[in-house]
A = this chain, B = another copy of it.
Amino acid sequence: MSHTAELIAVGTELLLGDIANTNAQMLSQGLSQLGINVFYHTVVGDNPERLRQAVAIAKTRADIILTTGGLGPTCDDLTKVALAESFGKKLVRHAPSEQRIRDRFAAMGHEMTENNLQQAMLPEGCTVLDNDWGTAPGAAFTAEGVRVILLPGPPWECENMFRYRAVPFLQDLVEGVIVSRTVKTFGIGESAAEAVLRPLMTRLQNPTLAPYAKPTGTELRITARAQTQAQALALIAPVEEEVKALLGEHVIGVDVRSVPEVVLSLLRERGLTLGTAESCTGGFMAKLMTDLPGSSAVFRGGVVSYTNEVKANVLGVPWAMLEEHGAVSPQVAQAMAQGARHSLGCDLAVSATGVAGPGPDERGNPVGLVYLGLAWEGGCYVKEFRAGNVARERVRRQSAQQGLDLVRRKLTGLL
């Protein structure tokens, strides 16, 4: 039997646009993974009457209601009061929750005001959802054929309370288990990947295969439903192999996040070091690498050469080359990578020089034209990349990722 959930977010800050309803996104993903349909999201302010109306509507069209927000003392526990009332339940004092709240304040050395104890008033007969990530406990109960789950609003609390408290409360609605594995690609768009995979996607029923466009590259999610985890994984395995074979060198790994992460682990495995020489990407490649904990073991450093003087004086690019070919040229990309390898003392160095925009450069090179270079002991490779006439941020992000992807390709024998 299939189940339908409605999400009700409570908070005037959402209606004023101070924050986006990211909890709804997280919960929708989680419920989809459980095989539970979500047909509506509703957002309502800190207003008891309008909240009661939203609940009355949700009852008619969903058999699971998840609320977020409106649980703490600053909003008078609005959500708890309204939901208990909507389902004809009284609020009763929950002694263990009261003790938890007293203990929490004592541990922090803060004085507890009486309004905090209101948080220990919970719908009678409910399952109390202990909050290990904040103060206000959540609650879950079943009434009038509807499962009701009340979660706190702060995203960190909401996500953990959903995963560790709400999911167990919903587990009996889920038949078997649902398991996903994600094949991560780089350098192929969502629609191009879909074109290649369309026959496979059409043929499949369990597992299913779905593409997702992310800023870090297209993802192919394979999702299987089975009685056990092992059975689900066994269903996924042959499809995973087929997807990898169809997408070939674009595949950077399974259940990995991004090209820089893959580059970091390849470098660690092989005991090699990396450096960067960046013009148009202006430090973006270095930032992507050093965003990762553990990068200091393999990343030696970089040079951002935003002027010809820095290209010549720090990276040793010959002035004659800069004058003859211009800074945006394959020759200069190669010389930058070789110069960086030398001055930074690293095994591999990657370079980028191009036109980030918003306008063409003084030689008339168009926005989005980028030359990427890779230098190693005894060799060099240069690639022309055209990001197209897109926003500056996008040219830079794509070029930085393309540059680091050259390192991945070299280390996996594709170059």
Residues of A within 8 A of B (CB): 14-22, 24-30, 32, 38-45, 47, 50, 53-54, 57, 61, 212, 276, 278, 281-287, 289-291, 293, 295-296, 299-307, 309-310, 313-314, 343-345, 356-358, 392-393, 396
Contacts and interface: CB of A to CB of B under 8 A. Distances in A.
A306 B273 CA distance: 11
A293 B357 contact: yes
Top-10 shortest CB links A-B: A282-B290, A283-B286, A17-B28, A17-B29, A283-B283, A41-B43, A301-B310, A302-B304, A283-B287, A20-B25
- Give the most central of A44, A282, A309: most B CB within 10 Å: A282
- Give the most central of A14, A25, A343: most B CB within 10 Å: A25
A368 to B, nearest CB: 14
- Number of this chain's copies in the assembly equals 2
A305 to B, nearest CB: 5
A306 B299 contact: yes
5 contacts: A14-B25, A21-B24, A41-B41, A276-B304, A282-B287
A310 B346 CA distance: 10
B314 A344 contact: yes
A132 to B, nearest CB: 16
Given A14-B24, A17-B25, A40-B43, 5 more contacts: A16-B38, A296-B307, A300-B307, A301-B310, A310-B344
A19 B307 CA distance: 39
Nearest to A47: B39
A8 to B, nearest CB: 10
- Give the most central of A24, A54, A285, A345: most B CB within 10 Å: A24
Nearest to A273: B307
A9 to B, nearest CB: 8
A302 B301 contact: no
Given A19-B25, A28-B15, A41-B21, A283 B302 contact: yes
A39 B51 CA distance: 10
B27 A17 contact: yes
A28 B16 contact: yes
B314 A306 contact: no
A51 to B, nearest CB: 10
Contacts of A289: 282
Nearest to A20: B25
A393 B38 CA distance: 33
A191 B291 CA distance: 29
Contact of A39 (B32, B44, B285): B44
Given A25-B19, A212-B18, A314-B344, A296 B302 contact: no
Contacts of A21: 20-21, 24-25, 41
Contacts of A14: 24-25, 28, 41
A262 B355 CA distance: 24
